[in-house]
Amino acid sequence: MPSVETTSAASRPLQTKQDLLDCLRSHADKISAFGVERLGLFGSFVRGEQDAESDVDFLVTFKPGQKTFDNFSQLASFLEDLVGRPVEIVTVDALSPYIGPHILKEVEYVDLAA
């Protein structure tokens, strides 16, 4: 499992959407190592409504054959350590037919290209 340096955001939670996007881009290779094809941000950070208690919401698409429990749980742990906040991860195929369309309208994808 890729590790996060001890100077990660865990000691200083990221505060803005831009901080999150920059941090995620700088760790794109580690994120991709979990089999991630696409990673999107949605929720309070995208809407500019985050506060000190906000979690970070991610929409993830795994590469074919890479959507495993281990990859999912290790990605969640890695992202929590990285951003210094609790995270919620949802896969596209797990989206509710009721809230899914709203998430898909606001999601901002992170460029994971190396």
Where in the sequence numbering do the catalytic residues fall?
A: 55, 57
Strands (E), 19-94: 36-42, 56-62, 87-91
What the block records as the tokens of 10 is: 């865990």
Please state the φ and ψ torsions of residue 36, each to the nearest 5 degrees.
Answer: -80, 130
Q: Is 112 exposed, middle or buried (0-12, 13-18, 19+ CB in 10 A)?
A: middle
